[in-house]
A and B are shown apart, each in its own frame.
Chain A
Amino acid sequence: NSKVIQTPRYLVKGQGQKAKMRCIPEKGHPVVFWYQQNKNNEFKFLINFQNQEVLQQIDMTEKRFSAECPSNSPCSLEIQSSEAGDSALYLCASSPGGEQYFGPGTRLTVL
């Protein structure tokens, strides 16, 4: 069973507001991924880190999201100015190198 912790489980924001969610990866997993699962259940990769360094990210994330994985602190993903289309389940996954283990997600609703 996955030991990835995500908080909060639910987040409600107004358009234009910042939305921040956190992820504690499994102990010993150096790689962290963020995915967005939309209302059609489709997954979209957003960004990944190895230790504190960004490995890959998509354009949208680079422009509108702020993400970090500081040492000895939870990883975080923050939408700088929420839009209605950002309403989705945000899933964090950690990896020891290979398989990915997912948390339960933060469900963001942008009103």
Chain B
Amino acid sequence: GDSVTQKEGLVTLTEGLPVMLNCTYQTIYSNAFLFWYVHYLNESPRLLLKSSTDNKRTEHQGFHATLHKSSSSFHLQKSSAQLSDSALYYCALSEVISNYNVLYFGSGTKLTVEP
């Protein structure tokens, strides 16, 4: 079945350093969509990025990710971490983009950015 792996459960960085959160996935569907959601404490999880296009960089709010189907990866990156980036980050997969595509989430990475 479909699955998403986020190896790092906790990442702690100093402000200003680059961010890279890993995401790999397994699916039999060649047109699967990959997503990054960010979840701040006591708020709703919010969509950060999405992609289904191989080798195309997608960007939003300073974050970027590139879907690499050859390695089944969709790593989240940012050039310079900010204190406000501290949150839980989830990578998720949907088999096809349709009205009822269930999201399969990774276990999440808690990012803490320190001064």
Q: How many residues of A contact B (CB 8 A)?
A: 28
Give the interface SS of chain B, mostly helix, strand, loop or mixed: loop
- Beyond A42-B107, A43-B90, A43-B105, whether A50 also contacts B99 by CB under 8 A is yes
Question: Is A28's beta carbon under 8 Å from chain B?
Answer: no
Give chain A residues whose Cβ lies under 8 Å from the Cβ of B44.
Answer: 2, 4, 91, 101-105
Residues 22-49 of chain A: 1 if any B CB is under 8 Å from the residue's CB, otherwise 0?
A: 0000000011010100001111010010
Question: Is B34's beta carbon under 8 Å from chain A?
Answer: no
Give chain B residues whose Cβ lies under 8 Å from the Cβ of A102.
Answer: 37, 44-46
Do B108 and A97 have beta carbons less than 8 Å apart? no
Question: Is B29's beta carbon under 8 Å from chain A?
Answer: no
Bound Cα distance from A1 to B47, whole angstroms: 9
- Chain A residues near B (Cβ < 8 Å): 1-2, 4, 30-31, 33, 35, 40-43, 45, 48, 50, 55-56, 91, 93, 95, 97-105
Do B107 and A31 have beta carbons less than 8 Å apart? no
Give chain A residues whose Cβ lies under 8 Å from the Cβ of B42.
Answer: 104
Interface centre among B37, B90, B101, B108 (most CB of A within 10 A): B101
Bound Cα distance from A91 to B45, whole angstroms: 9
Residue of B nearest to A30 (CB): B99
- Beyond A2-B46, A104-B44, whether A48 also contacts B102 by CB under 8 A is yes
Bound Cα distance from A83 to B34, whole angstroms: 33
Bound Cα distance from A43 to B90, whole angstroms: 10
Give chain B residues whose Cβ lies under 8 Å from the Cβ of A35.
Answer: 103, 105
Contact of A99 among B50, B100, B108 (CB under 8 A): B50
Question: Smallest CB–CB gap between B105 and chain A, Å?
Answer: 4
Do A43 and B103 have beta carbons less than 8 Å apart? yes
